[in-house]
Structure 1
């Protein structure tokens, strides 16, 4: 190996190592699909697929400040189909904090502001299922609690999956 070849090799090795390291702040985007499974209130318990179908499409950006804390902003349009009529029924603004829990798990603590006039919070537990070079696939357990707009408080258990890129 000539001297110039060694220098080029060492430069490329250094550049690859420096470039491939995770630096902060780090930005990710994601899209998903969320199905509320069951909703509880003081008046009733309702389940999705029982007389109606609700589906939501979370779209967000994560800004990791360090490897231990981040900020996330999510917008969630919701569609409801009931009696053969489907419509966009709500839009949720979902800012929150991100905390990694280890082993591919993370927690998002989100505030919730809905165009329906409701508000609340949504703790979300996420798990990365498949991680590749270009994207990751995840599953999540969102637990929305909602209040206001002259309706009883509700607590929902949902299931979400999506792609992080």
Structure 2
């Protein structure tokens, strides 16, 4: 068989081989099966990463997140431009402090809090004892420093007979884990209030301690 005959043989056989290969099931071709398997694994990993980033089957890293807290607030002492009064000596006051927290990321959060206070003022120098109830609305921002959190709130007190007022409240908060999603916290609030009526204004500073459960 000469060179010319060999070339003619290849020309005759090649189309038949191509047709047979086209009819072969891809599952029966090892090379194709290996390529398809690699593509499927890559595709699956891509979807796993996507699910993790959007709160799917992986770790939940999506932001913002919603949390909250419930606590009791107790003022310790009150300084005004008129006098100084202390708890148990001049008054008893306790507040219930629920709040909703929007966690923007691992460090920053916006906290929507209000405190409902009940106060019993003791009689003094002929002034009869009296009781009152008021609400302080004090949303603010909180930053997680790691070992503790700190922040600043804006505040206004609402209630019968309450004059014009506006407050700024620096806070320091320390949490102690109870479970993975629940912790007990202790917080020091340092509220400065500007108060007044037409023709008469004043300033007050009333440190208070707050403690409760955060989630």
- TM value normalised by structure 2: 0.63
The match for 1:111 is 154
From 88, 101, 108, give the equivalent of 1:69. 108
The match for 2:145 is 101
Kindly indicate which of the two structures has a greater share of residues assigned to helix: 2
Greater than 4 Å deviation, 4+ residue runs: 14-17, 83-86
Partner deviation per Cα, 1:98-142 (whole Å, 9 max, x = no partner): 111112x11121000111232111111000023313421000000
Measure, in 2, the Cα distance between the counterparts of 1:23 and 1:36.
37
1:31 matches 2:74? no
Measure, in 2, the Cα distance between the counterparts of 1:30 and 1:56.
14
SS at match of 1:78: strand
Measure, in 1, the Cα distance between the counterparts of 2:84 and 2:70.
29
Deviation at 1:24, TM superposition (A): 1.4
Bigger Rg, which one: 2
- Higher RCO (Cα < 8 Å, 6 or more apart): 1
Unaligned runs of 5+ in 2: 1-47, 123-128
Kindly indicate which of the two structures has a greater share of residues assigned to strand: 1
Query: What's the C-alpha RMSD, in Å, of the aligned pairs?
Result: 2.3
The match for 2:194 is 147
- TM value normalised by structure 1: 0.81
Unaligned runs of 5+ in 1: 1-10
The match for 1:133 is 180
SS at match of 1:18: coil
Deviation at 1:22, TM superposition (A): 4.2
Measure, in 2, the Cα distance between the counterparts of 1:61 and 1:27.
7
Deviation at 1:159, TM superposition (A): 1.0
Count of residues paired in the alignment: 150
